[in-house]
Amino acid sequence: MFDQAGETAGRFLEADVRLGVTGLRRAGKTVFTTAVVDNLLRAGRLPFLDVVASGRFQAARLRPQPDADVPRFAFEEHLATITAAQPDWPEPTTGISQLRLAIRYRPNSALRRTLQSVATVNLDIVDYPGEWLLDLPMLRQSFAEWSALSLELAARSPRDALSVDWRGWLSAIDPAGPDEEEEARRGAALYTEYLHACRRAESFLSIIQPGRFVEPGDLKDAPLLTFCPLPGERRGRGTLWALMESRYEAYKSSVVRRFFAEHFARLNRQVVLIDVLGALNAGVSGLGDMKRALEMSLEPFRHGSSGWLDWLFGSKIDRVLFAATKADHIASSQHPNLKGILDSLVAEARRTIRFEGAQVETMALASLKCTETVVTEHEGRTLRCIQGVPVGRDRPTVLYPGEIPDGADAMTVARNRSYRFMPFRPPADAGRDGRGLPHVRLDQALQFLLGDYLE
């Protein structure tokens, strides 16, 4: 009987938590996930993770993941790329992947310690493209509504120049015309080319929808990826409009709703990574597009009174972290200002959202710290600069990227443009001291996302 009680207590103290990791364009989610796992395995650089700071952390180890039909996150491969003799950035992941990490610790509560001296949290990290998160709002939109919004977006600068060929096709076809397969495929191909152009654009466009058009995976050439927005109102059966509408609904049902049911609805915590500095480099258009993308990314967490998100009530997400990445690309004294810019980007959406007991936090961090802050004198001024190896160079360089004004909103900073934030190469000695990859505030991010599970 005592052994049975101990086994029951052991199961009680073994918790599972699913952490979703996604990111807008070029945000570095592959490096984030790699750095999280490496630092939890080594626990040498996590002073602000309470379970480590209090000495209650025992160890962490990789375990077989629970979902056998989801590709495994290639942690070892990505870490090897970052820590190689000639370090490089790993290739970005293009689909969903997963990894399970078991964390053993001593409970903080005296009551829990009487049941079992050591507890375990199984952390399942689910890494998926940001475009998949941005697809979720489509579930509440009809084809006509989605088309109108997409057409309006495509007509604005700088997307208008990128969508010329597709919009030219639109002007030459009749949505009420016959549902010819060749015409549908032509329109879908031009629309897909436009989305790829948005993804490559120097203007740093973030809204890429539908997401599977640019990352089709095993859906390549599937009919449900051969549709595009059409102008006007709903048309009758046998028309090009009806064909496109049916494929849009099939995409929602077979792709978006399936992702929600199989993955998103099972998450407990979510982190959304954002390259705010990259958007600032791109100016007002890039930052405005990112702001709208962030608003769209918050919609799946919203529980409004209209009932249109009844399908979401299965979601268990109760903490969401929005993180401005690559904070090491500016001097450490600028980090509060970078967080302030992120706050201004999500402020409106965060005010209107109504979480059912959920918490939202923002943070400036660097998953892999590539620079050091140094102080230099220039023309009688003391400047806080950064020193690292920029991409394309082979030796450390001291740079002054400019400063983000204190208290300024995002659009004001974007219009100012008195800065240039450069990308850097991974440091040559990353992780060689055995303490885990160097970072900025990764431990604080983990404390917000996991700290209550490790009490």
Please tell me the predicted confidence (pLDDT) of residue 351.
Answer: 67
Helix (H) / strand (E) containing 119: strand 119-127
Please tell me the predicted confidence (pLDDT) of residue 316.
Answer: 73
**Structure tokens of 273?**
């990574």
Q: The domain that contains 98 carries what CATH number?
A: 3.40.50.300
Instruction: Report the residue count for the chain.
Output: 455
Torsion sign over Cα 110, 116, 120, 121: negative
Q: d(Cα 438, Cα 366) in Å, to the nearest integer?
A: 9
Please tell me the predicted confidence (pLDDT) of residue 420.
Answer: 84
Helix (H) / strand (E) containing 22: strand 14-23
Please tell me the predicted confidence (pLDDT) of residue 297.
Answer: 82
**Among candidate residues 261, 295, 327, the one where a domain is terminated:** 261
The answer to whether position 349 is within a domain reads yes
Residues 315 and 437 grouped into a single domain:
yes
**Structure tokens of 174?**
């009749």
DSSP string, 206-253: ---SSGGGTS-GGGTT-GGG-----SSS---TTBHHHHHHHHHHHHII
Q: d(Cα 219, Cα 210) in Å, to the nearest integer?
A: 13
The answer to whether position 419 is within a domain reads no
* Unique residue bearing structure tokens 């099939």: 250
**Among candidate residues 245, 261, 277, the one where a domain is terminated:** 261
Residues 45 and 162 grouped into a single domain:
no
**Structure tokens of 285?**
């258009």
Percent above pLDDT 90 for the chain: 69
Please tell me the predicted confidence (pLDDT) of residue 360.
Answer: 86
157 in Cβ contact with 285 (< 8 Å) = yes
443 in Cβ contact with 47 (< 8 Å) = yes
**Structure tokens of 70?**
């989801």
The answer to whether position 98 is within a domain reads yes
E strands, 339-423, where?
359-364, 372-378, 381-388, 397-399
The answer to whether position 418 is within a domain reads no
Residues 268 and 203 grouped into a single domain:
no
Residue of 386, 387, 369 lying closest to 438 (CA atoms): 369
Residues in the chain predicted with pLDDT less than 70, given as ranges, are: 1-13, 111, 302-315, 349, 351-357
Residues 154 and 299 grouped into a single domain:
no
- Tally of helices (H runs) and strands (E runs) in the chain: 17, 10
User: What is the longest distance spanned by two Cα atoms in the chain?
Assistant: 79
215 in Cβ contact with 159 (< 8 Å) = no
Report residue 444: phi and psi, to 5°: -70, -35
Residues 71 and 108 grouped into a single domain:
yes
Residues 322 and 225 grouped into a single domain:
no
CA dihedral 243, 249, 250, 256 (to 10 degrees): 150
Residue 233 belongs to what domain range?
A: 139-261
Residues 269 and 365 grouped into a single domain:
yes
Q: d(Cα 322, Cα 291) in Å, to the nearest integer?
A: 12
**Structure tokens of 193?**
């080319």
Provide the 8-state DSSP code for 429: T
Rg of the chain over Cα atoms, rounded to whole angstroms, equals 24
Residues 324 and 444 grouped into a single domain:
yes
Residues 319 and 438 grouped into a single domain:
yes
Residues 28 and 113 grouped into a single domain:
yes
Q: d(Cα 434, Cα 411) in Å, to the nearest integer?
A: 42
Helix (H) / strand (E) containing 375: strand 372-378
Task: Quote helix, strand, coil % in the chain, to nearest 5.
Answer: 45, 15, 40
The answer to whether position 377 is within a domain reads no
**Structure tokens of 149?**
């919004």
Q: d(Cα 112, Cα 380) in Å, to the nearest integer?
A: 60
Amino acid symbol at 199: R
The answer to whether position 256 is within a domain reads yes
Residue of 159, 85, 82 lying closest to 425 (CA atoms): 82
The answer to whether position 217 is within a domain reads yes
Percent above pLDDT 70 for the chain: 92
**Structure tokens of 185?**
């495929």
**Model's pTM, two decimal places?**
0.91
Please tell me the predicted confidence (pLDDT) of residue 315.
Answer: 55
Count of domains observed in the chain: 2
Distance of CA 343 to the CA centre of its chain: 16
Residues 105 and 243 grouped into a single domain:
no
Report residue 101: phi and psi, to 5°: -125, 125
Residues 145 and 124 grouped into a single domain:
no
49 in Cβ contact with 121 (< 8 Å) = no
Please tell me the predicted confidence (pLDDT) of residue 221.
Answer: 85
**Among candidate residues 236, 261, 286, the one where a domain is terminated:** 261
pLDDT digits (tens, 9 = 90+) for 46-95: 999 999 999 999 999 999 999 999 999 999 999 999 999 999 999 988 89
The answer to whether position 66 is within a domain reads yes
